Amino acid sequence: MPFADLRIAVIIPALNEAPAIGQVIDDIPDWVDRVVVADNGSTDATEQAARDHGAHIVGEPRRGYGSACLAAIAHLRDDPGQPPDIVVFIDGDGSDYPQQMDRLVTPIAAGQADLVIGSRPLGRAERRSMTLTQRAGNVVACRLIQACWRQRFTDLGPFRAVAWNALLDLHMDDPAFGWTVQMQARAARRRLHCAESPVDYRKQVGPSKITGTIPGTLAASRGILGTIGREACRAMLAPRRAFGPDRADTARLAGRISVVVPTINEATHLRDTLSRVTASPNVECIVADGGSTDATCDIARDCGATVVESPRGRATQMNAGAAAATGNVLLFLHADTLLPVGYERHVSHALSLPGVVAGAFVLSFDEPRNASLRLIERATNWRSRALQMPYGDQALFMPTDVFHAVGGYPELPLMEDYQLVRRLRNVGTVATTHTSVVTSARRWRRRGVLRATISNHLTILAFRLGVNLNRLAARRK
């Protein structure tokens, strides 16, 4: 065996690949230790065919190429046995040649590379196995990576090998079409040793799920270019920031989530908010009250929450609630915001992703027909994903030890969530889930959408310029 001293695993993301998956697995060299097929919700016999040919099956119902890969990585990481030394990714549609896997593994085994891309342009591609849009997209994306990070690639091909520790160090999190380009962009940004080896390519078995349709091609192009843009923005905004430590162990051990709700006279909304919180098992609910004069505290107790009295001030109240919490994960929730059903599963999943130290939900308002608010939602969610800057009305969550490690909420009259998220970005990735919270639009209605938007941006600008926050807070009252 050429790699007898190394543990090598193969990951095959698959969606309805029953006609090809068995042969792909059979053609994998016998020096591979484990083959993991990440089934992405197939409706044919993909899962059974893969199992019949000796693969381990990991189910990932959330659609997306990256989601499937992330599920397989989590499976390898959580396996009680020893982790692999090298991981190879290959598609399950029969377009790649598994017999050429040694071309990718050898440079890593020899210590010459951390990441090796199987380059189809450098190898022999069967006629019409790649569309013109694929070839053009490869050229454009590779040129952009070279322009941003001075790393030359000729292909974004899915057939690739990466050292296990390097893979974890990249803290991959793209759930969709941007997976391959994110790996290469982050490897270039981290200055890992990258290489390419020529591989051959042939027509896939069955129609392509991406390049076979115009919507699929457009979605893939948008995902790839958007990923490069996001990675470039992150590099510019935090050039010295590492992707942070892996918090997955903390997330997996989180037996309890503590939900902290700061309140001042929130009797109107609180019961609905807490009913969503307490509907989930093994959740601790803490209401940090800043001196309510209505029925807020009574409602909180009726709903089974622990009431913690605190001096007024959102940051002060949330810190007081966090100090009383006993859970491994803290979730900070505004009193007028509704969590999605099963929110605890989304929290656990987000925090289990490599490198993720905190997260938040997608923002939506309780007025779905208001066009202005729809624009605010889109802008907010783009900022949250592209810049990793969610705010408090998106229900921020993080492991308790991370919260305390960054000093908790800064005791500020304004911008406490903005400052906390900036601190979190310095130690790792701040993820955004694929599910949304529903928050009240009352503040936007009261102040007007345009006025509130301008005021928020001016406040951030003034804060960055060093204007006294007490003066800013007085102006916003």
Contact 459, 414 (CB under 8 A): yes
Contact 354, 171 (CB under 8 A): yes
Task: Kindly tell me the burial class for residue 323, based on how many C-beta atoms sit within 10 Å of its own C-beta (0-12, 13-18, 19 or more).
Answer: middle
Dist CA 284 CA 293 (whole Å):
24
Residue 63: per-residue pLDDT: 85
For the chain, the straight-line distance linking the first and the last C-alpha, in angstroms and rounded, comes to: 72
Alpha-helix runs per DSSP H in 27-64: 46-52
Q: Other C-beta atoms within 10 Å of 418: how many? A: 19
Q: Where in the chain is the domain with CATH 3.90.550.10?
A: 8-237, 248-476
How many Å separate Cα 54 from the centre of its chain?
30
Dump the DSSP string for 144-196: HHHHHH----S---S-EEEEHHHHHHHT----STTHHHHHHHHHHHTT--EEE
Dmax over Cα atoms in the chain, in whole Å? 75
Mean pLDDT by 10 residues, the chain (477 residues): 84 95 96 95 94 95 89 86 91 95 93 92 87 85 91 94 91 88 92 92 74 57 83 66 42 70 94 88 92 95 95 94 94 94 86 88 86 88 90 94 90 83 88 89 75 72 63 57
Instruction: For domain 248-476, give the fold.
Output: Spore Coat Polysaccharide Biosynthesis Protein SpsA; Chain A (3.90.550)
Residue 395: per-residue pLDDT: 96
Residues 6+ apart with CB under 8 A from 91: 12, 13, 24, 158, 159, 204
Residue 4: per-residue pLDDT: 74
Residue 132: per-residue pLDDT: 82
Q: How many residues can be counted in the chain?
A: 477
Residues 388-423 have pLDDT tens digits of 999 989 999 999 989 998 889 988 877 789 889 988
* Amino acid letter for position 89: F
- Give the residue from 368, 143, 38 showing the smallest Cα distance to 135: 143
The secondary element (H helix, E strand) that includes residue 456 is: helix 449-464
Instruction: For domain 8-237, give the fold.
Output: Spore Coat Polysaccharide Biosynthesis Protein SpsA; Chain A (3.90.550)
Instruction: Name the DSSP letter for residue 81.
Output: S
- Give the residue from 189, 173, 180, 185 showing the smallest Cα distance to 356: 173
Residues 335-355 have pLDDT tens digits of 999 998 788 888 988 888 878
| Token pair for 463 | 């804060």
Beta strands 194-198; 257-263: pairing state: unpaired
- Give the residue from 47, 98, 89, 83 showing the smallest Cα distance to 65: 89
* Residue 114 Cα distances to 72, 164, 166, 239, 452, angstroms: 19, 9, 6, 22, 48
Contact 98, 30 (CB under 8 A): no
3-state secondary structure of 119: strand
| Token pair for 241 | 């920031």
* Residue 262 Cα distances to 331, 346, 438, angstroms: 11, 22, 17
| Token pair for 187 | 């490897």
Q: Which residue has the tokens 């951390």?
A: 114
Instruction: Name the DSSP letter for residue 64.
Output: -
